[in-house]
Structures are given as C-alpha cells and as structure tokens.
C-alpha cells in the first residue's frame, strides 16, 4: 500500500458553496476515510461512526430541499461528492448513495405531515437508511415480489423476506416495497419501517467478493406491524416510487464507479512512474502509456456522461434513459480501468499490499446492483424502440 495522496480532480463546480463543500469532502476523505480503508475492508468492519460524522457534516442530505434539513445541492454537485467518497472507500460512497435512495420515497411522495415528522432525523439526525426492493426470488424482475402487507384497521402487517439489503441489520429505517394488491407492478405499496420494529429479523450478512465492510443481508419480516401513517404514497403506487428512486440511485452508482476508476488510475500512474524495468521507469513504455491514456479517457467520458444526466435532472427534464446509460457506461468503465490497473502493477497488483485488486473486486458489484447492466440495456432500448412486443 502506498501512502500516495492523489491530486484533486479538476472539477467545474457551479458555485462557491459547492467548491467549499468539495474541499471539505476531500479533507474528510483524506483524514477519516482513505487511510483506514484497506484494513477495515479486509476485516469486514462497517464504519458506523463514520456515517454519524457524515450525517453531522450534512453529507447524508445533500440533494434534498433545505426545508426539512436537506443540503439543497443540485445532483451535479451531490454526485461529485459521492465520487470523492467512493474514491476513498466504496463502502462509504455507496452507503451514502443507498441512504439517499432510502430517503427518496418519503421526500418525494410523503405527505407534508410525514415529511415534517420523519425527514429531519433521516437527513441530518444521525440515522442511516436502507432500501428494500429485492427478494430471494425477485431480483431483476422486481415487480414479482411477494413480501405481503395486509391491512387491518389502521395497521399493516408485513410478512416475507427481502434479500441483498445494503445496511441490512445496521440501518435505523427501511424503505420497504410490499405487495398490498394483486400480481404485478400495480399491487405494490411503499412503507417506512423503523429498524427496531418488532418481528424484523436480519439474517447473517452475505460473505461477498468485495465491499466486505458494507453489510448486505436478508431481512425477514415476521408479522411486522406498521401504522398506516408510515405508508408512503398511495396504495399501489409503490413500484413507480421504487423506479423513480432507482433512476436517481443509478446516477449515484455511476458516480461511485467513476470514483473507484479514478482511484485505480491514480494508483497506476503513481506506480508506473516509480517502478523501473529495462533501466527506465515503466511509464516510459508506449504500451503502458496507451493503456493509461485509454483508462483516463474512460474515466473522463464516464464523468461527463453522469454529469450530463445529472444536469438534465437538475433542470427538471426527463433523465431515465440517460441515468441508465450513465450507470451502464460508468460501471463497465470501472471494471475495465480497475482490471487494467492490476495489469499495470504486475505481480504487485495481484497482492493485497496495493489497493488495485480491491478496486477490481469492488467494481464488479457495481455492474450488478440497482439493476444489472443487462437491465440497463433493456431500459435504454425501451426508450429507443418502445416496449418489447411479447
């Protein structure tokens, strides 16, 4: 592991406030996140205290309106913050993105009373959220989910199992999609479930290839009772709420992917400048220079693509297709760039003494979460050619 601190990315930020924010984030990342990342990931330790610090620093609320404690930042700025956090440690960047996703339903579809009651603590009160859509038998086909919510008077009772939940077992609140009506997308409703609800039982976290510090677990709902005041949106509106959250969430994944790719590129540049073979630094060899040039081009292209989608969102324009393109391109770019970084470090790249093997393992999951890259292609193709005919 080198103690090399990469130079700041040259960012075009829209305001003085955003420039100050980015300086704060970089300082926090270099002081509190990057130095411990390798060791903590290897040990599989979730940095819960760090998320409390991020909450207190206003970094768990950036894209939400300031009325209920949000940071009031455009997506263009929020995503670049995520990129910086993910470059320091993906568990942190992705964790902030998932928390933001978990707040989306209530912030966008909750009543004024619900927002006033719950949002301030969710956005800046030290709480951490999770988003529960996937199930053991409902992944890409999320509309086939079977977790059931049954109403009796003013109380709903939830039964079923959610799978792959980031922050499962450590979150303070869960945004849960459950079936309240018939089959298909129209029978689904969203609920805000407290982390300490009776009958909510997290399973042992999954043993993963990477991002070992980020707990991913099944959640069993054994008769979890939720008052109707915690139902978000209308009955049957849940799936469209979930999809709208995912459009924004996918931009978060794209930004995290570029953070990991940038970190891998920075390591590769530092290493190839210092390593000598055949009497000169290996960065002199054109074969490697061309690889570095391709890697940097992938990173810049990905950053431009997610920022273009973010600016559409900030302008109130449709951005679903562009978010899917950004997620697809940026995560594939991260996979390529991190794999090439391992190659550029030779045998050392394959050891845990350097972070590039971890970056490569981390990049892989980004091609899977929040809709696999096959699903992103389906979304893009539907925008281009309309729905499939069968």
Residues belonging to the active site:
370
Is 55:115 a contact under the CB 8 Å cutoff?
no
Which of the stretches 20-28, 109-117, 303-311, 365-373 binds ligand FAD when contact is defined by CB under 6 A? 365-373
Binders of ligand FAD among 88-127, rule CB under 6 A?
98
Three-state SS string over 143-209 comes to HHCCCEEEEECCEEEEEEEEEEEECCCCCCEEEEEEECCCCCHHHEEEEEEECCCCCEEECCCCCCC
Nearest residue to 41 (alpha-carbon basis) of 365, 352, 367, 368: 352
Q: Give the count of beta carbons closer than 10 Å to the beta carbon of residue 377.
A: 14
Smaller CB separation from ligand FAD, 164 or 319: 164
Which run of H or of E encompasses 129? strand 129-132
277 forms part of the interface with ligand FAD (CB under 6 A):
no
In the bound complex, what is the minimum distance in angstroms from residue 152's beta carbon to ligand FAD?
26
Spatial distance between the Cα atoms of 99 and 78, rounded to a whole number of angstroms: 13
- When binding is defined by CB under 6 A, the residue of 61, 97, 100, 134 that contacts ligand FAD is 134
Q: How far apart are CA 211 and CA 200, in angstroms?
A: 24
CB 21 → ligand FAD: shortest distance, Å?
Answer: 26
| 139 scored as a contact of ligand FAD (CB under 6 A) | yes
Residue choice 140, 150, 229, 304 for contact with ligand FAD (CB under 6 A): 140
Residue 166 as a binder of ligand FAD (CB under 6 A): the answer is yes
Q: How far is the CB of 48 from ligand FAD (least distance, A)?
A: 16
List 46, 68, 118, 164, residue binding ligand FAD (CB under 6 A):
164
* 368 near ligand FAD, judged by CB under 6 A: yes
Helix (H) or strand (E) holding 246: helix 238-274
- Gap between the Cα atoms of 310 and 308, Å rounded: 5
Q: Taking CB positions, which residue lies at the least distance from ligand FAD? A: 139
With contacts defined by CB under 6 A, how many residues of the chain interact with ligand FAD? 21
Verify binding: residue 216, ligand FAD, rule CB under 6 A: yes
* Identified binder of ligand FAD from the candidate list 25, 258, 363, 365, rule CB under 6 A: 365
Binding residues for ligand FAD, per CB under 6 A?
98, 130-134, 139-140, 164-166, 208, 216, 365, 368-372, 374-375
């Amino acid at each position: 592991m080198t103690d090399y601190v990469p130079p700041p990315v040259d960012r075009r930020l829209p305001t003085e406030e955003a420039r100050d924010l980015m300086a704060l984030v970089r300082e926090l990342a270099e002081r509190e996140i990057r130095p411990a990342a390798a060791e903590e990931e290897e040990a599989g330790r979730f940095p819960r205290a760090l998320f409390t610090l991020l909450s207190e620093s206003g970094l768990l609320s950036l894209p939400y309106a300031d009325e209920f404690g949000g940071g009031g930042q455009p997506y263009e700025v929020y995503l670049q913050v995520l990129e910086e956090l993910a470059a320091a440690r993906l568990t942190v960047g992705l964790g902030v993105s998932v928390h933001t996703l978990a707040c989306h339903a209530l912030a966008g579809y909750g009543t004024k009373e619900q927002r006033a009651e719950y949002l301030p603590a969710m956005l800046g009160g030290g709480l951490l959220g999770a988003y529960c859509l996937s199930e053991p038998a409902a992944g890409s086909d999320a509309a086939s989910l079977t977790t059931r919510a049954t109403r009796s008077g003013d109380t709903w009772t939830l039964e079923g199992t959610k799978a792959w939940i980031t922050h499962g077992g450590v979150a303070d609140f869960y945004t849960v999609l459950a079936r309240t009506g018939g089959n298909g997308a129209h029978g689904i409703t969203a609920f805000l479930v407290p982390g300490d609800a009776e009958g909510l039982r997290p399973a042992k976290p999954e043993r993963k290839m990477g991002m070992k510090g980020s707990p991913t677990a099944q959640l069993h709902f054994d008769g979890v009772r939720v008052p109707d005041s915690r139902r978000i949106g209308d009955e049957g509106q849940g799936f469209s709420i979930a999809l709208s959250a995912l459009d924004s969430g996918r931009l978060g994944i794209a930004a995290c992917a570029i953070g990991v790719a940038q970190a891998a590129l920075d390591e590769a540049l530092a290493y190839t400048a210092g390593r000598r073979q055949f009497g000169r630094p290996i960065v002199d060899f054109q074969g490697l220079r061309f690889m570095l040039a391709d890697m940097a081009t992938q990173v810049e292209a990905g950053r431009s693509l997610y920022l273009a989608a973010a600016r559409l969102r900030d302008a109130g324009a449709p951005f679903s297709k562009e978010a899917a393109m950004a997620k697809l391109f940026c995560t594939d770019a991260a996979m390529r760039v991190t794999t090439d970084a391992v190659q550029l470090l030779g045998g050392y790249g394959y050891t845990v003494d350097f972070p590039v093997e971890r970056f490569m393992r981390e990049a892989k999951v980004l091609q899977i979460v929040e809709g696999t890259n096959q699903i992103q292609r389906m979304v893009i193709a539907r925008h281009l050619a309309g729905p499939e005919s069968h």
